[in-house]
């Protein structure tokens, strides 16, 4: 008795995973860097917390707006291409069949088999077949503006809360050291988990994110120290 072979793939995660990782990573790095920069300028504890809170709110809104606009632009392009493809299928189905057949021939199928495949897929869902083969539009890669926007906003806020809460709870004289250390740890964990979800090396993912986090925090701390004025 044969049994179906079920495979587990990760492509269905690509949209939300990209937005979530980008948002959380940006939330930790930008907020921690701002807190460290303001703290290094000899600002008061209150000013540091206010700056961190402002970074969280502004960053979350900016991430949501930026993701929505960019992904909506992608969605608009996809819809325009699909509308054009739908029109071409209605006006000249024979030419579209030849086009689809040629695609399968270029991928290694014999002409007769390629033609049969094109005919069967066209009969099943012509637009979906051409969207996938000609335009590269699949159900996993389809742009989802609202999903990208709220995922980025929520993940940014979640990432930004880490350095903000740490800065608010610890003694002010330890803010720079503890915020930097905890944020770096958070970045390593985030990068490792994202890599695992995507099927990549956890070690490489963690180190990659940590490197850029250290660079950003070091630069902003240096700038804050150089100016040395209270905000």
Cβ atoms 45, 178 nearer than 8 A: no
Per-residue pLDDT tens digits for 42-99:
889 999 999 999 999 999 999 889 888 988 888 888 888 888 888 888 888 888 888 8
Residue 9 lies in a domain: no
Q: CA triplet 22, 25, 30: central angle to 5 degrees?
A: 115
Please tell me what DSSP assigns to residue 134: I
Residue 68 lies in a domain: yes
Tell me which of 188 and 11 has the higher pLDDT: 188
Q: Give the chain's end-to-end CA distance (angstroms, integer).
A: 74
Residue 6 lies in a domain: no
Per-residue pLDDT tens digits for 101-141:
888 898 888 888 888 988 888 888 888 888 888 777 766 55
Residue 167 lies in a domain: yes
Domains identified in the chain, total number: 1
Cβ atoms 179, 32 nearer than 8 A: yes
Q: Is pLDDT at 221 greater than 80 in this prediction?
A: yes
Per-residue pLDDT tens digits for 2-26:
454 444 444 444 555 666 777 888 8
CB neighbours of residue 57 within 10 Å: 12
Q: What is the pLDDT of residue 92?
A: 87
By mean pLDDT, which of 5-9, 164-168, 171-175, 205-209 is the weakest? 5-9
Nearest Cα neighbor of 160 from 150, 172, 152 is 152
Residue 206 lies in a domain: yes
The pLDDT of 202-221, averaged and rounded, is 83
Nearest Cα neighbor of 33 from 218, 202, 191 is 218
pTM for this entry:
0.70
Residue 4 lies in a domain: no
User: Could you list the residue range(s) of the whole structural domain that residue 92 is in?
Assistant: 14-222
Tell me which of 199 and 88 has the higher pLDDT: 88
Residue 229 lies in a domain: no
């Amino acid at each position: 008795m044969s049994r179906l072979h079920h495979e587990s793939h990760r492509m269905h995660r690509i949209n939300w995973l990209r937005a979530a990782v980008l948002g959380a990573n940006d939330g930790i790095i930008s907020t921690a860097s701002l807190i460290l920069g303001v703290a290094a300028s000899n600002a008061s504890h209150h000013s540091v917390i206010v700056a961190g809170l402002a970074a969280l709110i502004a960053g979350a809104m900016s991430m949501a707006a930026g993701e929505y606009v960019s992904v909506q632009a992608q969605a608009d392009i996809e819809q325009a291409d699909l509308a054009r493809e739908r029109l071409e299928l209605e006006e000249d189905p024979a030419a579209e069949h030849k086009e689809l057949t040629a695609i399968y021939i270029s991928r290694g199928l014999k002409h007769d088999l390629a033609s049969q495949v094109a005919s069967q897929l066209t009969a099943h869902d012509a637009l979906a077949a051409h969207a996938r083969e000609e335009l590269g539009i699949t159900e996993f890669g389809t742009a989802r503006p609202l999903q990208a926007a709220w995922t980025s906003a929520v993940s940014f806020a979640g990432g930004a809360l880490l350095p903000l809460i740490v800065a608010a709870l610890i003694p002010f004289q330890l803010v720079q050291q503890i915020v930097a250390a905890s944020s770096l740890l958070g970045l390593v964990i985030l990068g490792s988990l994202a890599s695992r979800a995507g099927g990549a090396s956890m070690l490489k993912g963690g180190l990659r994110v940590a490197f850029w986090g250290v660079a950003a925090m070091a630069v902003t701390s240096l700038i804050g120290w150089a100016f040395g004025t209270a905000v």
